[in-house]
Amino acid sequence: MAGKAINVELGSKQQAILRQQLDSGRYENASEVMNDALRLMSERDAVFDEWLRQEVLASVADKRPPSPIDEVFKRVRTRIARKVKAAKRVA
């Protein structure tokens, strides 16, 4: 079942990637490359959606009281400061 053609403009980097895929012999034409790329994007999105769904369910099921936002930001800033300090020692 063929759909209506869609014209797409590719930048030089995307053209190079497309050409590389065609030159590899794995694909016969640009449509095959695009079909595979879109399929992989769809699979990636589905994996992310499922991960996010599980994170939300776990968060909703967590019966611990929420932390005040000021406390959370303080912990995050402290953690970042430690990482910056450690990176300066290494550099």
> How many domains does the chain fold into?
1
What does the angle CA 85 – CA 74 – CA 48 come to, to the nearest 5 degrees?
Answer: 90
For residue 77 the two structure tokens come to 């800033």
pLDDT, tens only, 4-27: 888 999 999 999 999 999 999 999
Tell me the C-alpha to C-alpha distance, in Å, between residue 8 and each of 36, 37, 45.
Answer: 16, 14, 22
> Does residue 35 sit within a domain?
yes
pLDDT category of residue 91 using cuts at 50, 70 and 90: confident
> Does residue 3 sit within a domain?
no
> Does residue 24 sit within a domain?
yes
> Does residue 19 sit within a domain?
yes
Expressed as residue numbers, the domain containing 51 is 12-90
Task: Name the pTM for this structure.
Answer: 0.63
> Does residue 82 sit within a domain?
yes
